[in-house]
Amino acid sequence: MVFQTATIGLGGPAEYTGELVRHQAVWKSRSWKVLPTMAKTRKIPYYKIAKARLPFSKPRWKCHAGFEGCIAINTPQTVSYERFAPGEVAPSSKSIPTSSGSTAGDVAAVRSETEHQKSTAFGKKQEPKEFRGQQFVELEAEDCEKLPEFDLQDIPDAMDRMRWPMAAKLARKWFKGPAHVWDNDLDSVQPLEDKLVTLDWALRYGSVKKRLNNLLQMTGSKNAQAVLKRKLLRHASDTFQRAASAKPNLDLDTTDFVVDLRQFHLDWHFQKMEVSILDTTEGVLVLTDLSGALGNFVLYAAIGRAHLNGARYFKYDTDPQQFCMDASASVTHVYIYIKDNYSFNDKDPSRSQYLGHWNKRDMITSYYLAGNDIAGQLKPSLRRQNKNHNAPKENFRLRSDYLPGQHIVDKPVDTRRSLFSKFQAKDVYWPVYNRSYNEWRKARNRGEDFMIYSKPQLYKLETPIIIDLGTICRPYDTTSKKP
């Protein structure tokens, strides 16, 4: 016989589901004693950003553990991709192909495959963990066939509610654009966004200003000077060769080249500084609008202004005779800008990057995954691998993968903040991965990866960078005797 009672709150006895599973006969002291075996669902700890309560205070991560933890949900339901994308026209027939060769039925196909995988797992009977004495059994998750719907396109609205307006704008731009996948080549031609993100905006967050100062200090490094010499020598040689004057002006100002940001970047950048997501946080590693918008990104330094001079003379011992210059350059100004790709590519699709659990209001994150990612970025050796994954530890990279270490993370969860109810829309959070966006793109034929540039800003160096360019020459007969 099975007895069912309503769930009561979240604390103490309320942590249990109240379901009387069975009676077990126990032989004790030569007499029968019946002990009821109760079932409870394991509570999973998670992190949530708590808003600042006092003036001038900052938001903070709050750990919800123990009776405040969330409950995983077994369900055939998944994050929805059904809502039409911005600008998408409803097809007249599911058999009509789109311009990319996909059909309107792709939505149903993607949904069918995803839900089949979920329903297979949903249909498996849970094997509860039994405790000594057989008084309690613990379930990994509760079953629920129908939850409040959450569409992937609800995330930008949630970002707005979290006061992440820039992250929301970039997300909406991605949803609105035609289907396009970045080819993982940082120098390739890509759709470009250069209006939304600005350097001044980014400098308001975390340690970004410190990273900018580090970049300015590194502009005179040995490696940077090697790149500067190559690029300035190319400019000086080309200008000197084309000039007819004996005193050509070789000074360089790259302002006119900023109109084509991709080409400007390829031609004139010479140093960079990686900015990790940790540098974008505030307080005790609390995510910000910058964290949600860019995550990890790169600050670049490009040549802004350089003065070139040197002794000029004729060489008569060559055939043909030459007019030469012992050139040196003094770099006085540099342009600083942000460059980042907005995409959802995974290095290993089997371990797609975890982006948090979301609903229409905000985001929470896995206790395990948050700790794993933070520890791994502070010290790579602390990063743990998936307990079911036998691959060796990866070398630490700026864009380090999030490694799901618990299968339970891949389920929706219920935070049960409502006192007498469960499975409420405001309490249920859905796991979102890079693969979620790729599946949505396949289903909706929308989702445009793009390259982000901020408008380059000119900075004057405290100490000019002096570069010896060596000797450059041109044929004597191309030299006019006029200055």
Which tens digit of pLDDT belongs to each residue from 438-463? 999 999 999 999 999 999 999 999 99
Dihedral angle, C-alpha 382, 386, 390, 395, nearest 10 °? -40
Instruction: Look at residue 390 in the predicted model and tell me its pLDDT.
Output: 35
Largest CA distance in the chain: 122
pTM exceeds cut of 0.75: yes
pLDDT per residue of the chain (483 residues) written in tens, 0 to 9:
333 333 222 233 333 333 333 334 333 444 444 445 567 888 888 889 888 777 877 888 888 888 888 999 999 999 999 999 988 877 654 444 443 444 545 555 555 555 555 555 455 555 555 555 555 677 888 999 899 999 999 999 999 999 999 999 999 999 999 999 999 999 999 999 999 999 999 999 999 999 999 999 999 999 999 999 999 999 999 999 888 787 889 999 999 999 999 999 999 999 999 999 889 998 878 899 999 999 999 999 999 999 999 999 988 888 888 899 999 999 999 999 999 999 999 988 788 888 999 999 999 987 555 555 555 555 544 444 433 333 333 332 323 332 234 455 789 999 988 777 889 899 999 999 999 999 999 999 999 999 999 999 999 999 999 999 999 999 877 555 544
Question: Residue 300 and residue 273: Cα distance in Å, rounded?
Answer: 6
Q: Where are the alpha helices (DSSP H) in 96-205?
A: 106-123, 155-161, 165-176, 199-202
What six digits make up the tokens of 278?
């940790």
The backbone region for 269, taken as left when phi is positive above 0, alpha when psi lies in -120 to 50, beta otherwise, is beta
- Across the beta sheet with 16-28, the strand order is 16-28, 31-41, 136-139, 129-130
Helix (H, G, I), strand (E, B) or coil at 241: helix
Collect contacts of 344-347 with beta carbons under 8 A, ≥24 apart.
344/434, 344/435, 344/437, 344/438, 344/449, 345/181, 345/182, 345/184, 345/434, 345/449, 346/401, 346/434, 346/435, 347/401
What six digits make up the tokens of 58?
């900052």
What six digits make up the tokens of 38?
């109760």
Helix (H, G, I), strand (E, B) or coil at 251: coil
Instruction: Look at residue 319 in the predicted model and tell me its pLDDT.
Output: 81
Nearest to 206 by CA among 280, 96, 316: 280
The residues, any chain, with a CB within 8 Å of residue 215's CB and separated by 6 or more, are 271, 272, 273, 299, 301, 336
Neighbours of 266 (CB within 10 A): 11
Question: Residue 340 and residue 167: Cα distance in Å, rounded?
Answer: 14
Nearest to 80 by CA among 345, 337, 434, 436: 436
Instruction: Look at residue 124 in the predicted model and tell me its pLDDT.
Output: 54
At residue 446, φ and ψ (nearest 5 deg) are -135, 175
The residues, any chain, with a CB within 8 Å of residue 284's CB and separated by 6 or more, are 60, 61
Per-residue exposure over 298-320, b if at least 16 CB sit within 10 Å of its own CB, e if not = bbbbbbbbbebebeeeeeeeeee
C-alpha 348, offset from chain centre? 15
Q: Is 207 exposed, middle or buried (0-12, 13-18, 19+ CB in 10 A)?
A: middle
What six digits make up the tokens of 189?
């031609």
Instruction: Look at residue 115 in the predicted model and tell me its pLDDT.
Output: 54
Question: Residue 211 and residue 206: Cα distance in Å, rounded?
Answer: 10
Question: Residue 270 and residue 254: Cα distance in Å, rounded?
Answer: 13
What are the strands, taking DSSP E only, across 123-227? 129-130, 136-139, 142-143, 192-193
Instruction: Look at residue 113 in the predicted model and tell me its pLDDT.
Output: 55
Question: Residue 221 and residue 4: Cα distance in Å, rounded?
Answer: 71
Using alpha carbons, list the distances in angstroms from residue 336 to 12, 201, 299, 399: 56, 13, 7, 21
Question: Residue 385 and residue 480: Cα distance in Å, rounded?
Answer: 69
Using alpha carbons, list the distances in angstroms from residue 405 to 130, 240, 353, 384, 438: 23, 60, 12, 8, 22
Neighbours of 239 (CB within 10 A): 16
Instruction: Look at residue 248 in the predicted model and tell me its pLDDT.
Output: 86
Question: Residue 406 and residue 409: Cα distance in Å, rounded?
Answer: 6
At residue 430, φ and ψ (nearest 5 deg) are -110, 135
Q: What is the CB-side half-sphere exposure of residue 255 using CA atoms within 13 A?
A: 8
Question: Residue 359 and residue 409: Cα distance in Å, rounded?
Answer: 15
Helix (H, G, I), strand (E, B) or coil at 44: strand
